[in-house]
Amino acid sequence: MLEHDRLIAAAPEQGEVRLDHAIRPKKLRDYIGQPRVREQLEIFIGAARLREESLDHTLVFGPPGLGKTTLANIIATEMGVGLKSTSGPVLERAGDLAAMLTNLEPGDVLFIDEIHRLSPVVEEILYPAMEDFQLDIMIGEGPAARSIKLDLPRFTLVGATTRAGLLTSPLRDRFGIVQRLEFYNLEELTEIVSRSARLLNVETNEEGAIEVARRSRGTPRIANRLLRRVRDYADIKGDGVVNAALADAALNMLNVDHHGLDHMDRRLLLAMIDKFDGGPVGVDSLSAAIGEERDTIEDVIEPYLIQQGLMMRTPRGRMVTRQAWLHFDRVPHEQSVDVEGERRP
């Protein structure tokens, strides 16, 4: 089972980019949630415009689907400049990045998604470009080789990553602005669902929007995806109006429960409960029990379950918490623990 096969996967699906662009906010005032990030960017952007300077290089990090690409677009729009977008894996050679840098206009925003995946050779090119707005190019080969410097227009690099810990210190230190995106709360997601419904001409009421938001795992991208699937269900099985009952029926049909768990999440938790008595159990044993790769368990399934307090990693292995037992209406094991790791009678 691959991550992109899951309805509640935070990674974008094929065909979603165009739809997401249609409902993506263009201005900071339209950006919902992340109040601390929004307030700081309003100040930094306003100050840069007042001084008629380019914005400092900006690093945005956090789990996938929370709006990092959206923020890069908003920064360019608010600054009134162009946006050039690429990603770390695409920039395979130093020449690829050099070509993009030399085509920038003064003040432009260069957005690099998955910046933690830049190759070391490409990253070396970025250092003088970010710090001195210069590009070092080697001319010739062998003993006759020499380095020349090309001046670049002042630009803003916006880097996005889901794994800030993988960034090298020299690269991370060159960002003047660093922003972390957090998961969204229910109220913010409900507002996002209602806004997207208006833009997509989906008739919904507040209870319907809340039901979709409740199962969206704190992630706007998932909320918008679930809204589109519920809209399909409403058009065929209902009268086109998304209310709480219809959203509940649609999402139950899609195997997304009230906590946003899907079949992969439930299969993992139930395997730990039924086959390993709640744990502790090693990840390799879990992998064999449910037929999933170790990396899939560690990178795809576990993070949300841990964040929701349904399971925990311990030195002895994985364990489900009391909350997981209760989620499946099971009587907690006498040795079960709560999310703080404390045993309860």
Token pair of 302 as six digits: 């576990």
- The answer to whether residue 265 is catalytic is no
Coil vs helix vs strand at 330: coil
| Sequence-ordered alpha helix ranges (H) in the chain | 16-23, 35-50, 68-79, 94-102, 120-132, 169-172, 186-199, 206-214, 220-237, 244-253, 263-276, 283-290, 294-296, 302-307, 322-327
Alpha carbon distance 206, 209 (integer Å): 5
- The answer to whether residue 68 is catalytic is yes
Count CB atoms within 10 A of the CB of residue 181: 22
Coil vs helix vs strand at 12: coil
Closest by CA position to 58, among listed 101, 104, 127, 111:
111
Alpha carbon distance 312, 320 (integer Å): 6
Alpha carbon distance 168, 191 (integer Å): 37
- The answer to whether residue 221 is catalytic is yes
Count CB atoms within 10 A of the CB of residue 53: 13
Q: Of 172, 214, 221, 318, which residue is the catalytic one?
A: 221
Q: Of 20, 108, 113, 248, which residue is the catalytic one?
A: 113
Written as one letter, the residue type at 306 is: I
Q: In this structure, is the dihedral angle defined by the CA atoms of residues 136, 139, 140 and 144, taken in order, positive or negative?
A: negative
Q: Of 162, 204, 219, 321, which residue is the catalytic one?
A: 162
Which backbone phi and psi does 119 adopt, to 5 degrees? Answer: -70, 155
* DSSP class of 18: H
- The answer to whether residue 26 is catalytic is no
- The answer to whether residue 69 is catalytic is yes
Strand partners, 135: 150
- Give ∠ CA 339-344-345 in degrees, rounded to 5: 160
Q: Of 6, 68, 214, 322, which residue is the catalytic one?
A: 68
- Enumerate the active-site residues: 68-69, 113, 162, 221
